[in-house]
């Protein structure tokens, strides 16, 4: 059967046809059909023949097709007196001929379009001084020399963290030397955040060189993911006109966040050049503090009247969906623009066209006021497992929405803030800050610790005479203070975590301290017994071991109680527990530890001599 088809195919191919030129209006269609024909070749390397259910579909049988493609079968296809065979290589060449001719005109048009899509035009860039120009020229020469290397751009950008650390230079070189088409492929195939991280190491001239080869939309994607320092650098380099180009492809809440970090003069210049409607929307967002629900929310959502039918709602959703951030959740309003419920897009799609939105909506909604702290908002989202939470005013009018990706950022930010505060480090400090800035942030808390250290030394000075008579006390007393501090920090960390999650309060949960007391007694007895035996064997005094045991139990118990109550009391006075708890805890455990241990030693001094 296959042999008959091949023979029939050969007879058809042998039919003479006349050559003709490509018709411009049909070149695209011709390329598509030629590519489809090329796919009919068999995959094996020995033979590749047209094998189809119908021989007329497997070859160029139509005179019209022959005129359209203008192919010479004697030049482009392999024919034989015995059988019609086509090798893979020749088949590819035949297909490529058609595709090349059809795409010739399109490629020229695409090149012209790509040149027009460049984000930054040369005449909008700030002028560089002679030194910068020389450096830029040197970089360009170096880039040309290295351009011959076969660098896998997308693989480099999407590599894991370890690979990125090892290939920082390769990433930088790839982004600098790739042409416009390659750069577009990198950004589309990789994550914008990876590109933004790589740009952090770029000089100003290199950032400009990068921006000159991509369009405003892709530059906006990278700009959104950049950290605040890099955004500020870019804003100064690009200027107002180029910033406005990017803003066309960014959501209003992101624009508000960016403008909030820019200098006032630049912010005013940008706002003056924006549309009146956009200005009002952004200014409303700027009214709220960054760490509140209003500062987090976006105004790009879909809200429809509850009296609308499903059919009308779907038509509206199709119209405004491209401009919104969330489309799977539709917010339902009444005639007074008050939020009365939410409707799932899936329910809307499956319901009858005449069904009203208020009939299929969920009226048990969870919303937050615009003034609510972002940490409380994150707790609500976590508690109710929400993907999006509406922000309302006192009249229950919908102001905006907060998406789960913003909540993830909040959780990360709050966790980092708490850790830094517990260590007495400023939340704005980073490892690459200047020495002066770091000193300014850390010194105040170190001064407070110095005061508490003097209090501890004062307690020790009271017992100088006792220590002078039994020098072993000087070696043993740090053990009591250290174990007390560690125990208190364990309790402190657990309590602060529960306070942060809203699961613990002084008024309702103070009785839980009994558990900490019992735990401290157990741990104190065990650790004190071990330490007592070691000291008794080392200094040959069983009484010193007994004193250590009693002091250890007492100080660890005090530490447990202090670690439980200190953060709760601070929270009751509206003081951040993570900020001041550790300082008070350290002072308490040191002073009480020294006082108990040295006090017992003074009482039992005759037995120690």
Q: Which domain holds residue 63?
A: 2-116
3-state class of 149 per DSSP?
coil
462 with 576, same domain: the answer is yes
Q: What percent of the chain has pLDDT over 90?
A: 31
Report pLDDT for 299.
86
Which segment of 75-79, 108-112, 404-408 scores lowest on mean pLDDT? 75-79
Instruction: Give the mean model confidence (pLDDT) for residues 503-516.
Output: 83
Instruction: Give the mean model confidence (pLDDT) for residues 385-408.
Output: 92
Determine, yes or no, domain membership for 41.
Answer: yes
CA distance 596 to 551: 6
Determine, yes or no, domain membership for 439.
Answer: yes
470 with 594, same domain: the answer is yes
The 10 Å Cβ neighbour count of residue 57 is: 11
Instruction: Give the mean model confidence (pLDDT) for residues 490-515.
Output: 84
Report pLDDT for 283.
82
The 10 Å Cβ neighbour count of residue 538 is: 13
3-state class of 391 per DSSP?
strand
341 with 236, same domain: the answer is no
- Which residue, 62, 91, 116, sits at the end of a domain? 116
Tens digit of each residue's pLDDT (9 = 90 or more) over 414-468? 888 877 777 777 667 777 778 888 888 888 888 888 998 999 999 999 999 999 9
Tens digit of each residue's pLDDT (9 = 90 or more) over 96-143? 433 343 444 444 444 444 444 456 544 455 554 444 444 444 444 444
Report pLDDT for 93.
41
- Indicate which CATH number applies to the domain containing 546: 1.10.357.20
Mean pLDDT rounded to a whole number for the chain: 75
319 with 239, same domain: the answer is no
Identify the helix (H) or strand (E) that includes residue 304. strand 303-305
Which CA distances in Å does 454 have to 65, 70, 433, 442, 458? Answer: 97, 97, 30, 19, 6
Determine, yes or no, domain membership for 255.
Answer: no
Q: At what angle do helices 404-422 and 577-603 cross, to 10 degrees?
A: 30
Report pLDDT for 581.
87
Report pLDDT for 377.
93
pLDDT score of 83 more than 60: no
Tell me the H-state helices in 262-403. Answer: 264-272, 276-286, 293-296, 310-320, 345-350, 357-360, 374-384
524 with 383, same domain: the answer is no
198 with 327, same domain: the answer is no
489 with 593, same domain: the answer is yes
Cβ(601)–Cβ(567) under 8 Å? Answer: no
Determine, yes or no, domain membership for 270.
Answer: no
Report pLDDT for 169.
60
Report pLDDT for 491.
92
Report pLDDT for 192.
82
Instruction: Give the mean model confidence (pLDDT) for residues 349-354.
Output: 93
Count the domains in the chain.
4
pLDDT score of 177 more than 70: no
Determine, yes or no, domain membership for 548.
Answer: yes
601 with 508, same domain: the answer is yes
- Indicate which CATH number applies to the domain containing 371: 3.10.580.10
Tens digit of each residue's pLDDT (9 = 90 or more) over 255-295? 888 888 888 888 888 888 888 888 888 888 888 888 899 98
445 with 528, same domain: the answer is yes
Using a 10 angstrom Cβ sphere, with 0-12 exposed, 13-18 middle and 19 or more buried, the burial of residue 287 is: exposed
Higher pLDDT, 398 or 86: 398
Name the range with the highest mean pLDDT among 66-70, 325-329, 369-373, 497-501. Answer: 369-373
- Which residue, 422, 450, 468, sits at the end of a domain? 422
Report pLDDT for 602.
93
CA distance 448 to 445: 5
Tens digit of each residue's pLDDT (9 = 90 or more) over 189-211? 777 888 888 888 888 888 888 88
Report pLDDT for 146.
45
Tens digit of each residue's pLDDT (9 = 90 or more) over 39-62? 333 334 333 333 334 433 433 333
592 with 445, same domain: the answer is yes
Determine, yes or no, domain membership for 264.
Answer: no
Instruction: Give the mean model confidence (pLDDT) for residues 176-198.
Output: 75
Which segment of 109-113, 394-398, 544-548 scores lowest on mean pLDDT? 109-113
Both tokens of 488, joined, read 């208190």
Report pLDDT for 120.
58
Of 301, 276, 483, 475, the C-alpha closest to 401 is 301
Determine, yes or no, domain membership for 276.
Answer: no
- Which residue, 68, 89, 116, sits at the end of a domain? 116
The 10 Å Cβ neighbour count of residue 408 is: 12
Cβ(581)–Cβ(492) under 8 Å? Answer: yes
181 with 157, same domain: the answer is yes
- pLDDT band for position 510 (cuts 50, 70, 90): confident
Determine, yes or no, domain membership for 26.
Answer: yes
73 with 151, same domain: the answer is no
CA distance 417 to 431: 15
């Amino acid at each position: 059967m296959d042999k008959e088809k091949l023979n029939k195919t050969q007879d058809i191919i042998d039919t003479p046809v006349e050559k003709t030129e490509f018709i411009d209006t049909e070149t695209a269609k011709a390329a598509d059909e030629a590519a489809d024909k090329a796919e009919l070749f068999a995959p094996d390397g020995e033979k590749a023949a047209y094998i189809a259910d119908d021989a007329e579909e497997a070859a160029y049988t139509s005179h019209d097709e022959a005129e359209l493609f203008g192919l010479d079968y004697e030049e482009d296809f392999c024919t034989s007196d015995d059988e019609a065979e086509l090798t893979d290589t020749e088949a590819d060449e035949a297909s490529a001929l058609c595709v090349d001719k059809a795409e010739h005109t399109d490629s020229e048009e695409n090149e012209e379009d790509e040149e027009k899509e460049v984000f930054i035009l040369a005449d909008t860039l700030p002028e560089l001084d002679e030194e910068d120009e020389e450096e830029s020229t040197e970089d360009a020469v170096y880039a040309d020399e290295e351009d011959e290397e076969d660098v896998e751009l997308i693989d480099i950008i999407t590599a894991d963290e370890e690979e990125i650390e090892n290939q920082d230079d390769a990433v930088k070189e790839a982004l600098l030397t790739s042409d416009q088409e390659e750069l577009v492929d990198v950004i589309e195939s990789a994550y914008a955040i990876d590109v933004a991280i790589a740009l952090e190491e770029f000089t100003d001239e290199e950032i400009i060189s990068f921006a000159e080869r991509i369009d405003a939309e892709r530059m906006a994607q990278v700009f959104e993911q950049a950290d605040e320092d890099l955004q500020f650098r870019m804003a100064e380099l690009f200027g107002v006109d180029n910033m406005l180009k990017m803003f066309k492809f960014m959501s209003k809440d992101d624009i508000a966040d960016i403008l909030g970090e820019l200098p006032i003069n630049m912010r005013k210049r940008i706002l003056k050049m924006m549309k009146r409607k956009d200005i009002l929307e952004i200014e409303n967002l700027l009214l709220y503090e960054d760490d509140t629900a209003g500062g987090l929310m976006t105004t790009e959502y879909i809200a429809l009247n509850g009296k609308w039918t499903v059919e009308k709602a779907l038509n509206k959703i199709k119209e405004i969906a491209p401009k919104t951030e969330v489309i799977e959740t539709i917010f339902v309003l009444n005639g007074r623009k008050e939020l009365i419920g939410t409707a799932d897009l899936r329910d809307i799609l499956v319901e009858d066209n005449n069904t009203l939105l208020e009939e299929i909506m969920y009226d048990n909604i969870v919303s937050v006021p615009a003034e609510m702290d972002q940490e409380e908002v994150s707790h609500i989202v976590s508690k109710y497992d929400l993907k999006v939470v509406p922000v309302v005013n006192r009249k229950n009018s919908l102001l905006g929405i907060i998406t789960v990706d913003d909540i993830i950022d909040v959780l990360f930010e709050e966790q980092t803030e708490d850790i830094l505060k517990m260590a007495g480090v400023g939340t704005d400090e980073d490892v690459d800050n200047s020495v002066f800035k770091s000193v300014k942030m850390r010194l105040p808390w170190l001064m407070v610790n110095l005061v508490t250290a003097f209090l501890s030394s004062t307690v020790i000075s009271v017992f100088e005479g006792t220590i002078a008579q039994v020098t072993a006390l000087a070696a043993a007393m740090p053990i009591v203070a250290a174990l007390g501090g560690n125990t208190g920090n364990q309790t402190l960390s657990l309590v602060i975590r529960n306070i942060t999650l809203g699961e613990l309060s002084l008024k309702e949960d103070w009785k839980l301290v009994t558990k900490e007391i019992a735990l401290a007694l157990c741990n104190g007895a065990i650790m004190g017994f071990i330490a007592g035996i070691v000291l008794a064997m080392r200094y040959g005094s069983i009484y010193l071991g007994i004193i250590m045991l009693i002091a250890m139990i007492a100080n660890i118990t005090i530490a447990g109680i202090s670690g439980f109550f200190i953060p709760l009391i601070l929270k009751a006075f509206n003081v951040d527990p993570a900020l001041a708890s550790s300082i008070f805890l350290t002072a308490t455990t040191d002073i009480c530890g020294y006082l108990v241990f040295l006090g017992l030693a003074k009482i039992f001094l005759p037995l120690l001599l």
